[in-house]
Structure 1
Amino acid sequence: MVGLEARVGASRLEAACTRALHFNTTAYRMIKSILRQGLDSKRIDEQPHVIEFPSAYRGAGRFLRHPLHQQGGKP
């Protein structure tokens, strides 16, 4: 971390570490990646962007098999 601080400065490193902690990571590679991509200067959204999937892709029903298939028969 000391090497990163010498290259990018204490304020950028602090911002990158804050961002990494927001995403529950302290990995050196992640902090370095945040700095490389310039994400340390971006605002952290409190609510992450979530893509809502159609009902066909949600819930346990997507993984259930037709009962006849489980018995070896055809529907």
Structure 2
Amino acid sequence: MVEILTRVLDDGLAAVEAACSEALREGVHSADVILNILARQREPPPPVTILTPEALRLRHAPLADCSRYDSLRRGP
């Protein structure tokens, strides 16, 4: 119970109350479940896509040649 109440300081009362409501709707009342719900809501958004400068873009795609790998395995 104390862990849940301390999360109010970081996550806010509305978020903690919503997590408690969600847990109760699912029929669980474990503090670990409520803390897990809060943690899932806190996960950062996906990283921003970085645009590759034109100078670093691939100009000629490499050709797949598995026989080169086989020749390396056989040795000289």
TM-score under structure 1 normalisation? Answer: 0.48
Between structure 1 and structure 2, the one with the greater Rg is 2
Give TM-score, length-normalised by structure 2: 0.48
